[in-house]
Amino acid sequence: MHLITFIEIVAILVGAFSGFIEARRKRMDVVGVFTVAFIAAFGGGTLRDILLDRRPLFWVTHQEYAILIFVLALVASPLIRTLRHRVSERMIVIADAVGLGLFSVAGVSSALEAHMPLFIASMMGVITGIFGGVLRDIVCNEVPMVFRDGKPYAICAFIGNWIFLLMGLYGVEHDFALWSSALFISGLRLICWKFDMTLGR
């Protein structure tokens, strides 16, 4: 399996899970649960592809991922109630950090393939990393969490994306650059969370 593909699958499952939780919190029905999970999982990558005019979309060529979320949504409602007590906040934050790293770097990589200039590529990475959550929060009628909690999240992705871009410029091997940047983003995010860092306002 191609590396980027594997990266996106893991990130999608993590995204969908955040959608399940948020939709349940808003007391949505099964249609809402599926749609919000779908948007949380594919929203960032879809927005990136629309902005870059890349078609077919990731979830169109891989309908198996859409079906997977569909099946998960059907079984999620009872499951989530059980899981919520078992899944600690800590596990969610970790999974989410992993998703952020993977999604962001995959986004930069796609933007470079589409010959975007460097700054735009770094932004496309951040969009891929955070806009699933942003669109999820907009549909759930919330001010997006990532814009208001003052915790370094998008910024971790932004820094990591530049590390990836710089490694590319200096000729570092592509797969190594990809994995190490994703790891850097996830790690930085977790450190910021662990020590409860906040950005100045």
Selected range binding a copy of itself among 10-18, 25-33, 166-174, 186-194, rule: CB under 8 A = 25-33
**Dihedral through CA 46, CA 141, CA 196, CA 91, nearest 10?**
-60
Question: Which residue number, 59 or 193, has a Cβ lying nearer to a copy of itself?
Answer: 59
Please state the closest distance from residue 166 (CB atom) to a copy of itself, in A.
Answer: 17
Q: How far is the CB of 31 from a copy of itself (least distance, A)?
A: 4
Cα 25 → chain centroid: 20
Does 108 bind a copy of itself (CB under 8 A)? Our answer is: no
CA distance 17 to 7: 16
Residues 53-92 that bind a copy of itself (CB under 8 A): 53, 55, 57, 59-60, 63, 66-67, 70, 77
Q: Does residue 117 bind a copy of itself (CB under 8 A)?
A: yes
Number of residues that bind a copy of itself (CB under 8 A): 49
Per-residue contact string for residues 29-48; x = within reach of a copy of itself by CB under 8 A: xxxx--xx---------x--
Helix axes 118-139, 30-52, angle to 10 degrees: 160
Tell how far CA 145 is from the center of its chain. 14
Token digits for 148?
């208001």
Six-digit token string for 59: 């979830």
142 forms part of the interface with a copy of itself (CB under 8 A): yes
Is residue 182 within 8 A of residue 102, CB to CB? The reply is: yes
Residue from 134, 165, 177, 182 touching a copy of itself (CB under 8 A): that is 134
Identify the residue among 93, 116, 159, 172 touching a copy of itself (CB under 8 A).
Answer: 116
Rule CB under 8 A: which of 155-184 touch a copy of itself? 155
CA dist 108 and 158 (Å) reads 10
Residue 125 and residue 105 in contact, taking contact as beta carbons nearer than 8 Å: yes
Q: How many CB atoms lie within 10 A of CB 31?
A: 10
Joined tokens for residue 41:
């999982």
Residues contributing to the site for a copy of itself (CB under 8 A): 23, 26-32, 35-36, 46, 50-53, 55, 57, 59-60, 63, 66-67, 70, 77, 116-120, 123, 134, 138-144, 146-150, 153-155, 199-201
